[in-house]
Amino acid sequence: MSTTPSPGPTAVPVPLPAGEPDAATLARTALSTGEPAAATLARTAEQTAGTLLAPTAPHRLADVVPAPQHVEPDPTADWVLPADAVIVSSADPAALAVAEQLAQLLRPATGYPLPVTDTITPEPANGIALVLDDSADLGAEGYSADLGAEGYSAGLGAEGYRLDIATVGVRVTAATAAGLFHGVQTLRQLLPAAIESPTPVTERWALPGGTITDVPRFPYRGAMLDVARHFFAVEDVLRVVDHLARYKLNHLHLHLTDDQGWRIAVDSWPKLTTVGGTTEVGGGPGGHYTKADYQRIVSYAAARHITVVPEIDLPGHTNSALVAYPELAPDKIAPPPYTGTEVGFSYVDPADERTYDFVADVLGEVAALTPGPWLHIGGDEAFKVKGEVYTGFVERVQRTVADLGKTVVGWHQLAPAAHLDGRVLQWWGTNGEDPTTVDAVRRGARLIVSPGNHAYLDMKYAPDTPIGHDWAGLIDVRKAYDWDPGTHVAGVPAEAVLGVEAPLWTESVTSLADLELLLLPRLPAIAELGWSTRATHDWADFRDRLAGQGPRWTTAGITFHRAPEIPWPTAPTIPTQRNMPQTDTATP
């Protein structure tokens, strides 16, 4: 970043006018506030000549997952990233942080220096501008779901962006840093797959010309990782965060506690981790996150505009807590540690006040570590806590969450409990029918939809998938894609749907490679349901766009399932410059 005093937001490139800017307009406005300098004109001429001679960009502007809302290709406006490109950002620190992230994404494969600056003096070489523009936030909420299935949002809202690619450079415009970040993910996907290489490759870094205007459909787009059945190291979680960020997901739900292990340090109840954290499914060593570990995950996610949603599963799924603190058990006797995969047998004693001290202490410490608004209290499969005892327990815990200033989330089993302002239910049923949930929505609850038979990433793809479950059915990529979160639960209107989440339970998952095998390529399918306007929903089109992600994952060293229904490219897809060696990193 330049150390020159900030020239203020007006000195960065001014926003492009609506409509289709031609190259001349961009040349005038993209890189300078004054008259176009001779160098700019010369460069424009050179670029135009280059465009006429060189092969066009390998990707279509619409080759993006999740599908962008509005795409206007301009085949005459392809742009090639030059070795001396500069990344210019609005002076806002959050925008500059996105600019630095973009540079870090592009430097390894290109080998280019890609300096980041918030000034445009001396006049920068042609490059990429990230423009934070408050006036771009014209929409009410900026979510396409607000406008109905066919809606088109004029404003970019809290997360939308506009991407202009022209012969003189690239510009991402957004009202927020989150919008810029999502625009950068799109930009990344439009470059040749070799951009994912961790080491420099020779490539023509061409981008397809035109304009994308894009806003998400739903505000909540998430994935859940169960770190309780098997424990995963911080580094593994950060890598999962990276996968979420690629596909514009904005929430990571961490299932932190279960019968098999307690994974988050709680100072006031230390044995939760020193005793309850030492087990996992299958008898492995388990593990837990210190507060510093957890905060590292939270801030890594926040830097990628992802909010962590911590879950403390109550009153069931608590065997690990009972092993550590038998006073919480209904019979006050410590059960043996549990390393199997059954559910529904354990619970904290709802009749003992000590249990509510425990709940308040744990939730208080977790809330204090968590900047996001949500606290997930589980509530599923507490088969031995029935009727009014169950609803009474849930209502008390809901109030505890509210008193901590957080918004309560729970599995849809919470539905019969009294409504509390803002509460969110996570629906994980398998048949799209649930009158109790519909009634809770009528009383004011909002819904995150995670249908077990479409969104559960721990289900096998096919009978021969080496890991995973099948209790909710097999979920191939088409099954993961072919449903509509806005209409899925009968009787729940789209307005009550906050968004979508793909849970990954880990009874059978023991390594990062296992995680990735189940996540990819289904995570992008769920991400598209959460982000893309329903009007773009089209299996054949999605299948082809998804296929283009394969070479990216291969190049980046990411494991994925080569789902047979996806036409993964088998031949080199990336034209390289004449006289340049063909890179093999770009081919799957």
* Tokens matching residue 253: 């739900």
* Identified binder of ligand TNX from the candidate list 196, 311, 380, 476, rule CB under 6 A: 380
The answer to whether 428 contacts ligand TNX (rule: CB under 6 A) is: yes
Non-local CB neighbours of 454 within 8 Å, separated by 6+ positions: 475, 479, 480, 482, 483, 488
- Closest distance to ligand TNX from the beta carbon of 576 (Å): 45
Of the pair 428, 553, the CB lying nearest ligand TNX is at 428
Rounded to whole angstroms, how far apart are CA atoms 453 and 467? 16
Q: Which of residues 404-423 bind ligand TNX (CB under 6 A)?
A: 411
Closest distance to ligand TNX from the beta carbon of 503 (Å): 6
Cis preceding linkage at 551, omega within 30: no
Least distance in Å: CB of 376 to ligand TNX? Answer: 10
Stretch 141-160 residues interacting with ligand TNX (CB under 6 A)? none
Burial degree of 334 (CB within 10 A; 0-12, 13-18, 19+): middle
467 near ligand TNX, rule: CB under 6 A: no
Per-residue binder mask for ligand TNX (CB under 6 A), 340-369, x = binder = ---x--------------------------
- Using the rule CB under 6 A, which residue among 72, 242, 361, 381 binds ligand TNX? 381
Shortest spacing between CB 317 and ligand TNX, in angstroms: 6
Backbone phi and psi for residue 369, each to the nearest 5 degrees, phi listed first: -90, -10
Task: For residue 231, state whether it binds ligand TNX (rule: CB under 6 A).
Answer: no
d(CA 544, CA 401): 44
Task: Provide the annotated active-site residues.
Answer: 381
Distances (CA, A) of 444 to 147, 247, 311, 419, 496: 21, 30, 22, 7, 8
Minimum separation from the CB atom of position 257 to ligand TNX (A): 11
Residues 6+ apart with CB under 8 A from 555: 193, 194, 196, 197, 585, 586
Is 14 a binding residue for ligand TNX by CB under 6 A? The answer is no
Shortest distance in whole angstroms from residue 502 CB to ligand TNX: 12
Q: Which of 458, 501, 514, 528 binds ligand TNX (CB under 6 A)?
A: 458
Least distance (Å) between residue 389 CB and ligand TNX: 20
Q: Residue 226 — φ and ψ, nearest 5°?
A: -85, 105
Contacts (CB under 6 A) with ligand TNX, residues 307-346? 343
Residues whose CB is less than 8 angstroms from the CB of residue 337 and which lie 6 or more positions away in sequence, other chains included: 278, 279, 319, 320, 323
Give the integer Cα–Cα distance in Å for 36 and 30.
10
Q: Which residues pair with 507 in a beta bridge?
A: none
Task: Please tell me the distance from the alpha carbon of residue 246 to that of residue 270, in angstroms, as a whole number.
Answer: 36
Q: Are strands 257-258 and 261-262 parallel, antiparallel or unpaired?
A: antiparallel
Is position 390 an interface residue for ligand TNX (rule: CB under 6 A)? no
In whole angstroms, the minimum distance from the beta carbon of 103 to ligand TNX comes to 40
Toward ligand TNX, which CB reaches closer, 156 or 348?
348
Task: Decide whether 146 or 501 has the Cβ nearer to ligand TNX.
Answer: 501
- Identify the bridge partners of residue 261 per DSSP, sorted by sequence position: 258
Residue 185 CB burial class (10 angstroms; 0-12, 13-18, ≥19): buried
CB nearer to ligand TNX: pick between 386 and 578: 386
Under rule CB under 6 A, residue 78 binds ligand TNX: no
Q: Return the residues of window 437-456 that contact ligand TNX according to CB under 6 A.
A: 456
Contacts of 46 (CB under 8 A, 6+ apart): none
Query: What are residue 116's DSSP bridge partners?
Result: 87
Of 88, 140, 77, 74, whose CA–CA distance to 118 is shortest? 88
* Closest to ligand TNX by CB, 468 or 486: 468
What DSSP element (H or E) covers 554?
helix 549-556
The nearer residue to ligand TNX, 163 or 264, going by C-beta atoms, is 264
Binding-site member from 305, 469, 543, 561 for ligand TNX (CB under 6 A): 469
Binders in 481-520 for ligand TNX, by CB under 6 A: 505, 507
| CB closer to ligand TNX, 469 vs 534 | 469
Q: Given the complex with ligand TNX, which of 203 and 380 has the nearer CB atom?
A: 380
Q: How far is the CB of 450 from ligand TNX (least distance, A)?
A: 8
Distance of closest approach, residue 7 Cβ to ligand TNX, in angstroms: 52
Rounded to an integer, what distance in angstroms lies between the CA atom of residue 189 and that of residue 169?
17
Q: Which is nearer to ligand TNX, 29 or 260 (CB)?
A: 260
CB-nearer residue toward ligand TNX: 103 or 237: 237
# of chain residues touching ligand TNX (CB under 6 A): 10
Contact 320, 280 (CB under 8 A): no
Nearest to 295 by CA among 250, 265, 335: 265
Tokens, residue 104: 């870090």
Exposure string of 99-136, with b = 16+ CB inside 10 Å and e = fewer, is: bebbbebbeebbebebbbbbbbeeebbbbbbbbbbeeb
- Binding residues for ligand TNX (CB under 6 A): 343, 380-381, 411, 428, 456, 458, 469, 505, 507
